[in-house]
Protein backbone atom coordinates (compact mmCIF):
# COMPACT_ATOMS: atom_id res chain seq x y z
CA UNK A 1 0.00 0.00 0.00
CA UNK A 2 1.20 3.44 -0.83
CA UNK A 3 2.28 5.65 2.05
CA UNK A 4 0.25 8.54 0.67
CA UNK A 5 -3.34 8.28 -0.51
CA UNK A 6 -4.50 10.88 -2.96
CA UNK A 7 -8.15 11.87 -2.55
CA UNK A 8 -9.78 11.70 -5.97
CA UNK A 9 -13.43 12.51 -5.28
CA UNK A 10 -15.75 13.28 -2.34
CA UNK A 11 -19.54 13.11 -2.02
CA UNK A 12 -21.73 13.73 1.01
CA UNK A 13 -24.40 11.24 2.06
CA UNK A 14 -26.77 13.82 3.56
CA UNK A 15 -25.83 17.48 3.65
CA UNK A 16 -22.95 19.34 2.05
CA UNK A 17 -19.87 19.58 4.26
CA UNK A 18 -21.25 16.91 6.63
CA UNK A 19 -17.99 15.36 7.83
CA UNK A 20 -19.79 12.58 9.70
CA UNK A 21 -21.56 11.25 6.58
CA UNK A 22 -19.53 11.24 3.40
CA UNK A 23 -17.81 9.06 0.79
CA UNK A 24 -14.22 9.49 -0.32
CA UNK A 25 -12.54 7.73 -3.22
CA UNK A 26 -8.77 7.68 -2.89
CA UNK A 27 -5.95 6.18 -4.91
CA UNK A 28 -6.04 3.12 -2.63
CA UNK A 29 -9.54 2.64 -1.27
CA UNK A 30 -13.14 3.71 -0.91
CA UNK A 31 -13.86 5.33 2.45
CA UNK A 32 -17.36 5.74 3.83
CA UNK A 33 -17.83 7.87 6.94
CA UNK A 34 -21.28 6.91 8.27
CA UNK A 35 -22.61 8.50 11.43
CA UNK A 36 -19.09 9.51 12.36
CA UNK A 37 -17.61 6.03 11.97
CA UNK A 38 -15.05 5.35 9.24
CA UNK A 39 -15.44 2.27 7.03
CA UNK A 40 -12.55 1.58 4.64
CA UNK A 41 -12.66 -0.75 1.62
CA UNK A 42 -9.60 -1.65 -0.42
CA UNK A 43 -10.44 -0.92 -4.04
CA UNK A 44 -9.26 -4.31 -5.29
CA UNK A 45 -11.51 -6.04 -2.71
CA UNK A 46 -14.71 -4.29 -3.82
CA UNK A 47 -16.97 -6.62 -5.82
CA UNK A 48 -20.02 -4.40 -6.18
CA UNK A 49 -20.90 -0.76 -5.58
CA UNK A 50 -24.32 0.74 -6.07
CA UNK A 51 -27.72 1.60 -4.64
CA UNK A 52 -30.38 -0.71 -3.27
CA UNK A 53 -33.50 -0.51 -1.12
CA UNK A 54 -33.77 -2.20 2.26
CA UNK A 55 -36.33 -2.53 5.05
CA UNK A 56 -35.47 -1.53 8.62
CA UNK A 57 -35.42 -4.83 10.48
CA UNK A 58 -35.60 -3.55 14.07
CA UNK A 59 -38.78 -1.40 13.66
CA UNK A 60 -40.34 -4.15 11.53
CA UNK A 61 -39.81 -6.86 14.16
CA UNK A 62 -40.63 -4.59 17.12
CA UNK A 63 -43.85 -3.38 15.55
CA UNK A 64 -44.78 -6.86 14.40
CA UNK A 65 -44.57 -8.10 17.99
CA UNK A 66 -45.99 -5.08 19.85
CA UNK A 67 -49.10 -4.45 17.75
CA UNK A 68 -50.71 -7.96 17.81
CA UNK A 69 -49.94 -8.54 21.49
CA UNK A 70 -51.42 -5.16 22.43
CA UNK A 71 -54.53 -5.93 20.38
CA UNK A 72 -54.86 -9.35 22.04
CA UNK A 73 -54.50 -7.80 25.50
CA UNK A 74 -57.25 -5.28 24.66
CA UNK A 75 -59.64 -8.03 23.55
CA UNK A 76 -58.94 -10.08 26.69
CA UNK A 77 -59.25 -6.97 28.89
CA UNK A 78 -56.01 -7.83 30.69
CA UNK A 79 -54.84 -4.31 31.50
CA UNK A 80 -55.90 -0.69 31.32
CA UNK A 81 -56.98 -0.27 27.68
CA UNK A 82 -55.56 3.24 27.20
CA UNK A 83 -51.87 2.32 27.52
CA UNK A 84 -52.60 -0.74 25.39
CA UNK A 85 -54.16 1.45 22.69
CA UNK A 86 -51.04 3.61 22.72
CA UNK A 87 -48.84 0.49 22.38
CA UNK A 88 -51.04 -0.75 19.55
CA UNK A 89 -50.72 2.43 17.51
CA UNK A 90 -47.00 2.67 18.30
CA UNK A 91 -46.49 -0.92 17.13
CA UNK A 92 -48.42 -0.24 13.92
CA UNK A 93 -46.32 2.88 13.28
CA UNK A 94 -43.08 0.97 13.86
CA UNK A 95 -44.22 -1.85 11.58
CA UNK A 96 -45.14 0.63 8.85
CA UNK A 97 -41.78 2.38 9.19
CA UNK A 98 -39.92 -0.92 8.98
CA UNK A 99 -41.98 -2.15 6.03
CA UNK A 100 -41.18 0.89 3.91
CA UNK A 101 -38.11 0.39 1.74
CA UNK A 102 -35.32 2.91 2.28
CA UNK A 103 -32.48 3.74 -0.14
CA UNK A 104 -29.07 2.43 0.81
CA UNK A 105 -25.55 2.67 -0.55
CA UNK A 106 -24.27 -0.90 -0.82
CA UNK A 107 -20.57 -1.78 -0.88
CA UNK A 108 -19.93 -5.48 -1.38
CA UNK A 109 -16.43 -6.73 -0.66
CA UNK A 110 -14.93 -10.21 -0.37
CA UNK A 111 -16.60 -10.70 3.04
CA UNK A 112 -20.16 -9.36 2.81
CA UNK A 113 -22.45 -6.58 1.61
CA UNK A 114 -22.29 -3.40 3.69
CA UNK A 115 -25.41 -1.18 3.62
CA UNK A 116 -25.41 2.53 4.52
CA UNK A 117 -28.91 3.97 4.84
CA UNK A 118 -29.62 7.24 3.01
CA UNK A 119 -32.30 9.87 3.26
CA UNK A 120 -32.27 10.11 -0.53
CA UNK A 121 -30.08 9.31 -3.51
CA UNK A 122 -28.92 12.80 -4.43
CA UNK A 123 -27.69 13.66 -7.96
CA UNK A 124 -24.22 14.39 -6.58
CA UNK A 125 -23.99 11.03 -4.81
CA UNK A 126 -25.29 9.29 -7.92
CA UNK A 127 -22.59 10.95 -10.03
CA UNK A 128 -19.95 10.01 -7.45
CA UNK A 129 -20.97 6.33 -7.50
CA UNK A 130 -21.02 6.27 -11.31
CA UNK A 131 -17.52 7.77 -11.36
CA UNK A 132 -16.27 5.33 -8.72
CA UNK A 133 -17.73 2.34 -10.57
CA UNK A 134 -15.82 3.25 -13.71
CA UNK A 135 -12.58 3.78 -11.86
CA UNK A 136 -12.80 0.65 -9.67
CA UNK A 137 -14.24 -1.89 -12.09
CA UNK A 138 -13.04 -0.65 -15.48
CA UNK A 139 -9.67 0.70 -14.39
CA UNK A 140 -10.47 4.10 -15.84
CA UNK A 141 -12.90 6.95 -15.36
CA UNK A 142 -12.99 8.38 -18.86
CA UNK A 143 -15.20 11.31 -19.76
CA UNK A 144 -15.89 12.53 -23.27
CA UNK A 145 -15.96 15.78 -25.22
CA UNK A 146 -17.13 16.17 -28.81
CA UNK A 147 -16.08 18.95 -31.15
CA UNK A 148 -16.12 19.47 -34.88
CA UNK A 149 -13.20 18.14 -36.89
CA UNK A 150 -12.17 21.57 -38.18
CA UNK A 151 -12.03 22.95 -34.64
CA UNK A 152 -9.97 19.96 -33.49
CA UNK A 153 -7.46 20.61 -36.28
CA UNK A 154 -7.01 24.13 -34.91
CA UNK A 155 -6.34 23.17 -31.30
CA UNK A 156 -4.93 19.64 -31.33
CA UNK A 157 -1.32 20.86 -31.00
CA UNK A 158 -2.02 23.18 -28.08
CA UNK A 159 -0.63 22.21 -24.69
CA UNK A 160 -4.06 22.98 -23.28
CA UNK A 161 -7.38 23.10 -25.07
CA UNK A 162 -8.24 26.70 -24.31
CA UNK A 163 -11.60 28.19 -23.54
CA UNK A 164 -11.23 30.62 -26.45
CA UNK A 165 -12.65 27.91 -28.70
CA UNK A 166 -15.89 27.81 -26.72
CA UNK A 167 -18.79 30.13 -26.05
CA UNK A 168 -19.07 32.58 -23.18
CA UNK A 169 -19.92 29.77 -20.73
CA UNK A 170 -16.31 29.57 -19.46
CA UNK A 171 -16.23 25.81 -19.07
CA UNK A 172 -15.98 22.56 -20.98
CA UNK A 173 -18.98 20.27 -20.48
CA UNK A 174 -17.82 16.68 -20.44
CA UNK A 175 -20.08 13.64 -20.83
CA UNK A 176 -20.09 10.25 -19.15
CA UNK A 177 -21.01 7.04 -21.00
CA UNK A 178 -24.78 7.47 -20.56
CA UNK A 179 -24.73 11.11 -21.59
CA UNK A 180 -22.56 10.27 -24.59
CA UNK A 181 -25.09 7.64 -25.71
CA UNK A 182 -27.89 10.24 -25.58
CA UNK A 183 -25.73 12.76 -27.45
CA UNK A 184 -25.10 10.22 -30.24
CA UNK A 185 -28.85 9.71 -30.64
CA UNK A 186 -29.42 13.47 -30.83
CA UNK A 187 -26.73 13.85 -33.52
CA UNK A 188 -28.21 11.29 -35.89
CA UNK A 189 -28.82 12.90 -39.25
CA UNK A 190 -26.82 16.03 -38.42
CA UNK A 191 -24.36 17.42 -40.92
CA UNK A 192 -20.66 17.58 -40.06
CA UNK A 193 -17.81 15.40 -38.85
CA UNK A 194 -17.01 15.31 -35.14
CA UNK A 195 -14.00 14.25 -33.14
CA UNK A 196 -14.71 12.53 -29.84
CA UNK A 197 -12.05 13.13 -27.19
CA UNK A 198 -11.61 10.42 -24.56
CA UNK A 199 -10.49 12.31 -21.47
CA UNK A 200 -8.96 11.08 -18.22
CA UNK A 201 -10.31 13.54 -15.59
CA UNK A 202 -7.57 12.55 -13.13
CA UNK A 203 -5.04 14.21 -15.44
CA UNK A 204 -6.89 17.51 -15.68
CA UNK A 205 -5.30 20.21 -13.55
CA UNK A 206 -8.26 22.61 -13.80
CA UNK A 207 -11.22 22.55 -11.42
CA UNK A 208 -13.95 20.00 -12.20
CA UNK A 209 -17.45 20.50 -10.80
CA UNK A 210 -20.49 18.30 -11.25
CA UNK A 211 -23.38 20.68 -11.96
CA UNK A 212 -26.78 20.72 -13.61
CA UNK A 213 -27.39 22.34 -16.98
CA UNK A 214 -28.67 25.88 -17.37
CA UNK A 215 -32.17 24.49 -17.94
CA UNK A 216 -32.24 23.12 -14.42
CA UNK A 217 -32.41 19.46 -15.45
CA UNK A 218 -31.53 17.05 -12.61
CA UNK A 219 -28.81 15.38 -14.69
CA UNK A 220 -25.31 16.39 -13.58
CA UNK A 221 -22.51 17.11 -16.04
CA UNK A 222 -18.80 17.41 -15.35
CA UNK A 223 -17.82 21.03 -16.00
CA UNK A 224 -14.12 21.82 -16.40
CA UNK A 225 -13.36 25.41 -15.42
CA UNK A 226 -10.11 25.95 -17.28
CA UNK A 227 -8.12 24.43 -20.10
CA UNK A 228 -8.05 20.68 -20.67
CA UNK A 229 -4.47 19.39 -20.60
CA UNK A 230 -3.39 17.51 -23.74
CA UNK A 231 -1.97 14.85 -21.42
CA UNK A 232 -5.54 14.16 -20.30
CA UNK A 233 -6.67 13.36 -23.87
CA UNK A 234 -6.31 9.60 -24.05
CA UNK A 235 -7.74 9.23 -27.55
CA UNK A 236 -9.15 11.39 -30.33
CA UNK A 237 -11.70 9.45 -32.39
CA UNK A 238 -13.35 10.69 -35.58
CA UNK A 239 -17.06 9.84 -35.52
pLDDT over 90 (residue 41):
yes
The Cα 39–Cα 221 span in angstroms is: 28
pLDDT over 90 (residue 201):
no
The Cα 113–Cα 31 span in angstroms is: 15
Q: Is the pTM of this model over 0.85?
A: no
The Cα 89–Cα 75 span in angstroms is: 15
pLDDT score recorded for residue 164: 58
pLDDT over 50 (residue 176):
yes
pLDDT score recorded for residue 49: 94
Look at 6 and 133; give whichever has higher pLDDT. 133
Reported confidence tier of residue 1, pLDDT bands at 50, 70, 90: very low
pLDDT over 80 (residue 186):
yes
Within 10 A of 142 (CB to CB), how many other CB atoms are there? 20
pLDDT over 60 (residue 216):
no
The mean pLDDT value of the chain amounts to 84
pLDDT score recorded for residue 6: 75
pLDDT over 80 (residue 211):
no
The Cα 190–Cα 187 span in angstroms is: 5
Percentage of the chain surpassing pLDDT 70?
93
Reported confidence tier of residue 38, pLDDT bands at 50, 70, 90: very high
Amino acid sequence: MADFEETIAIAYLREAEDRDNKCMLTSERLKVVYRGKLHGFERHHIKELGFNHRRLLLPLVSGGITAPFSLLAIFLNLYNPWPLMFMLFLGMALFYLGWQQHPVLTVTDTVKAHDFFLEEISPNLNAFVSFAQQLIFQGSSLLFYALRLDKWEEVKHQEKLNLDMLTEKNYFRLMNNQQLARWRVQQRGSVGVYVLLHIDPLKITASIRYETTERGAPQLYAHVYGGIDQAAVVKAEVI
